[in-house]
Structures are given as structure tokens and as C-alpha cells.
């Protein structure tokens, strides 16, 4: 026990000093200081960035699709496509097929604890509904997802791998034996096919865990914590307002070690789940069906959705609290991409209860939930409870602007515009 604790403290200190240069010096030269990636993570980086691993490998629009197509490092690993920006969800490699959810940022979300249900709700897990217990499980999804890379089978995906330009390097990094123990006639019943498929997914997860770009902690906010920058008066006022209205779900303080171990600087998520009553996004093709509802923990994507609906109906409509790091560069917002700007998001929090007609244009309050689950929408946390008790906005337009100014200090140094 004691040794374990000591180890994690040493590890966290090393991690922290490598990533934030907390021992002094410049925080802008992470590339030079970055630790060498393991062979597994190097292989994962190749797979993550390869866009020829989809079916089709090439489209008339040019190129196929890989992780990087929807998770662009220049946008804190969110989707650069105009489709995502205009509609709110990402297109599959076949651009006529759209997903049902907004592509989230990957950095900092990597610190999510494994998914579990709790007495009061749920915590942890990967993606908006936490259906993947960890990054390894998640990375095995997209290659076969028919709204993403669209390969039909694991074996077909591995054929793409063998035909790709990264293949010789993957053989070198992961060992030739991994690929030589099956051939083109083997299907998904072959243990060797499954071993290779899972090894590649684990490699991608290792890249996400190890590469510094997923955990830089070098925003202006971090610099202010380390005494190397000062927030402006508006940003500081915004932080104070944020602590009153937002930090109950998006903590601005270091996460508890029981949640994130080794500890990190603030992540702006406690990885819990809440229904916020985000308005229905009519631009999502699936929403053309009035009977279709994305209920998060209650499906449609989770395998245990029916059980959750049955046993924990109070969780229907709940989605994971996302990190707010890099939020200024990761539009659109929320699981369904309904909001295009941060200003609108903050305005929604300020006024959802006092002027619902502004947000629910069809006149149906909480219109993206079936009637029986509308009571699940959070009305107890400060911004919402305050509106109910006072009949007024939670905070003024000037204060909303200060909150936005604060949120803009959460951008990693290399992505920040002065």
C-alpha cells in the first residue's frame, strides 16, 4: 500500500514536471522535452493519423477516413469538417451518412476513470454516454462503426492495414509475427485476427495516453496557477462567476485522487452524468424521425440501454460532463452539436428556465427528451435553481461575457490566439 502510494506520487511529480515544466523554464517547448513514446504508442500514432484504413479507402472528395479525420490536433482533436460545424455531427467516410453525435475533444478526457454506475448517477467512461469502459475499448470501435470508418469486419480492416504505407513500420514496431500469424483468407473467427485487431486498438490508446499533446496543461489558466501569468480583471471575475455557477460539475480545482490517480491539474469535469435539456438539433438526419431520441445513458448506443431505462429511468437523457479545456477551439457544443458558439452556450445556462421559448422553438420545453424523462433535467444546480427561485437570469449579460473570457484562458498554449 505504502510503496504503491509512493510510486504514484513520484510518477505524478515526474509527469507533472515533464508536462508543465513546473520545475521552471519555458512551457512552450514541450516538443523538445517530450518523453520518447513507447514502441506501442509510436505504432498507435501511425494508425491514428492514417486515413487509408476506412472502407472505401478513398472517396471522390479525396482521401479515406481515420481517427485524425474527425480528431484534428489543430482543433484540440475535434472535427475540422464543415459538416460538423454546420450541422453539429460528423460524417462517415461515406459523406452521405452522418452520425448522431458531436465529435468530442480527446485531450484531458483521457483521465476519465473507468465507467461505473453510482448511488446518485454514473461516473467515468469514454464517449458521451460512457459506453466504453476505457480508451482501449473505445479505440476498437471506429474502424468498424458504420457511421465512421465503415469496415465490415476486423479481417477486412487488417487487410487495409497490410495494404497501407504504414505497414512496414508497424511490423517493425509491433513484431512481424503479429501480422504473419493470419492471412487474407482468415475471418473474424480467427484468434490471430482478433489478437492483431486488439493489439492495434491498444496501440492507439497508448498513443493517446503517452503523447504530450493530450495533456499539455500549459494554458494561460495553468500559467496563472503557476504564477507565470496573470488573468485580466474580466477573466478573474469570470473565474469567480464560474466557481459559483459551473464548478459543481466542471471543477476548477485539482481532481480528487480517488477519481484521477495520479492527480492532475484541474480538468473541468468530474466525469459525472447529467441531463441538461439541450434543445433538439433538427439538422441531425436521425432527428427527422419524431420517434427518435438520443437518451445518452438510456441509449440508443449503449448495449445495456434497456436495463438502464428499466432500473435507472432517472438517468435517461444524461450525458457525461466534458472537460472545458480548449473549449474555445472545439465548437460546436454539447453531445448533439446544437450550439455553434460559446456565447450561446453560456446564455443557455443563464436563461434556460426564465425564457425557455428562446431555446425550444417548437414550444416544447426539453424537446429532445420524451415526455416521461423531462423531469430528469437538472434544476437543482445553481444556474438553474437560481432562475426558478428568483424568476431572473442566473447572471447578467456582462457577467456572461466575463465567463466566456475566462473559458478562453483554458486553451493550450500552441492553440491559443493572443
Residues at the contact surface with ligand HEC, assessed by CB under 6 A: 48, 65, 67, 69-71, 90, 92, 99, 101, 103-104, 106, 109, 126-129, 135, 138-139, 142-143, 148-149, 204, 245-246, 248-250, 274, 276, 278, 301, 319, 321-322, 324, 327, 330, 333-335, 342, 345-346, 349, 378, 381, 383, 403
Least separation in angstroms between residue 111's CB and ligand HEC is 9
Least separation in angstroms between residue 90's CB and ligand HEC is 4
Q: How far apart are CA 101 and CA 368, in angstroms?
A: 13
Smaller CB separation from ligand HEC, 110 or 193: 110
C-alpha 360 chain-centroid distance: 26
Least separation in angstroms between residue 391's CB and ligand HEC is 18
Least separation in angstroms between residue 53's CB and ligand HEC is 8
Smaller CB separation from ligand HEC, 301 or 314: 301
Residues in the chain: 418
User: Which has the closest alpha carbon to 211: 8, 2, 34?
Assistant: 34
Q: How far apart are CA 51 and CA 57, in angstroms?
A: 7
User: How distant, in Å, are the alpha carbons of 54, 83, 121 from that of 315?
Assistant: 35, 30, 7
Least separation in angstroms between residue 24's CB and ligand HEC is 31
Cβ neighbours for 141, distance < 8 A, ≥ 6 positions apart: 132, 148
Smaller CB separation from ligand HEC, 41 or 403: 403
Q: How far apart are CA 248 and CA 250, in angstroms?
A: 6
In the complex, residue closest to ligand HEC by CB: 109
Smaller CB separation from ligand HEC, 142 or 266: 142
User: Which has the closest alpha carbon to 278: 345, 228, 217, 197?
Assistant: 345
Smaller CB separation from ligand HEC, 27 or 208: 208
The CA-CA-CA angle for residues 186, 189, 190, to 5°, reads 55
Least separation in angstroms between residue 23's CB and ligand HEC is 29
Least separation in angstroms between residue 340's CB and ligand HEC is 11
Smaller CB separation from ligand HEC, 123 or 246: 246
Least separation in angstroms between residue 167's CB and ligand HEC is 17
Smaller CB separation from ligand HEC, 129 or 222: 129
Least separation in angstroms between residue 120's CB and ligand HEC is 12
Smaller CB separation from ligand HEC, 34 or 340: 340
Least separation in angstroms between residue 159's CB and ligand HEC is 16
**Cα-Cα end-to-end distance for the chain:** 46
Smaller CB separation from ligand HEC, 69 or 387: 69
Smaller CB separation from ligand HEC, 100 or 223: 100
Amino acid at each position: 500500500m505504502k510503496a504503491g502510494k509512493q510510486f504514484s506520487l513520484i510518477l505524478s511529480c515526474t509527469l507533472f514536471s515533464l508536462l508543465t515544466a513546473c520545475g521552471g523554464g519555458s512551457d512552450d517547448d514541450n516538443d523538445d522535452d517530450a518523453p520518447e513514446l513507447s514502441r506501442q504508442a509510436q505504432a498507435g500514432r501511425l494508425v491514428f493519423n492514417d486515413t487509408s484504413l476506412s472502407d472505401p479507402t478513398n472517396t471522390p472528395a479525396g482521401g479515406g477516413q481515420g481517427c485524425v479525420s474527425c480528431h484534428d490536433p489543430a482543433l484540440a482533436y475535434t472535427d475540422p469538417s464543415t459538416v460538423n460545424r454546420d450541422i453539429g455531427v460528423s460524417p462517415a467516410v461515406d459523406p452521405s451518412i452522418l452520425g448522431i453525435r458531436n465529435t468530442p475533444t480527446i485531450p484531458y478526457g483521457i483521465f476519465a476513470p473507468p465507467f461505473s454506475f453510482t448511488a446518485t448517477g454514473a461516473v467515468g467512461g469514454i464517449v458521451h454516454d460512457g459506453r466504453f469502459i476505457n480508451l482501449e475499448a473505445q479505440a476498437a470501435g471506429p474502424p468498424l462503426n458504420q457511421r465512421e470508418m465503415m469496415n465490415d469486419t476486423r479481417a477486412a480492416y487488417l487487410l487495409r492495414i497490410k495494404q497501407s504505407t504504414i505497414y512496414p513500420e508497424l511490423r517493425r514496431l509491433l513484431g512481424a509475427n503479429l501480422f504473419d500469424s493470419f492471412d487474407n483468407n482468415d475471418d473474424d473467427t480467427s484468434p490471430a485476427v482478433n489478437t492483431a485487431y486488439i493489439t492495434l486498438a491498444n496501440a492507439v490508446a497508448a498513443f493517446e495516453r503517452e503523447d504530450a499533446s493530450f495533456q499539455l496543461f500549459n494554458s494561460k489558466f495553468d500559467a496563472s496557477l503557476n504564477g507565470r501569468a496573470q488573468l485580466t480583471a474580466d477573466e478573474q471575475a469570470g473565474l469567480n462567476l464560474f466557481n459559483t455557477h459551473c464548478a459543481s460539475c466542471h471543477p476548477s480545482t485539482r481532481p480528487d485522487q480517488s477519481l484521477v490517480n495520479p492527480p492532475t491539474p484541474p480538468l473541468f469535469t468530474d466525469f459525472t452524468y447529467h441531463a441538461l435539456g439541450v434543445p433538439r438539433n433538427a439538422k441531425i438526419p436521425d432527428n427527422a424521425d419524431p420517434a427518435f431520441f438520443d437518451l445518452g445513458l438510456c441509449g440508443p448506443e449503449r448495449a445495456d440501454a434497456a436495463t438502464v431505462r428499466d432500473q435507472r429511468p432517472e438517468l435517461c437523457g444524461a450525458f457525461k460532463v466534458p472537460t472545458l479545456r480548449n473549449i474555445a477551439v472545439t465548437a460546436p457544443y454539447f453531445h448533439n452539436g446544437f450550439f455553434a458558439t460559446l456565447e450561446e452556450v453560456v446564455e443557455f445556462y443563464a436563461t434556460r428556465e426564465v425564457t425557455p421559448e428562446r431555446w425550444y422553438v417548437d414550444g416544447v420545453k426539453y424537446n429532445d427528451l420524451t415526455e416521461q424523462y423531462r423531469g430528469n433535467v437538472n434544476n437543482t444546480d445553481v444556474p438553474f435553481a437560481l432562475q426558478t427561485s428568483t424568476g431572473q437570469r442566473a447572471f447578467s449579460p456582462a457577467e456572461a461575457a466575463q465567463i466566456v473570457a475566462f473559458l478562453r484562458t483554458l486553451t493550450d498554449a500552441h492553440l491559443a490566439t493572443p
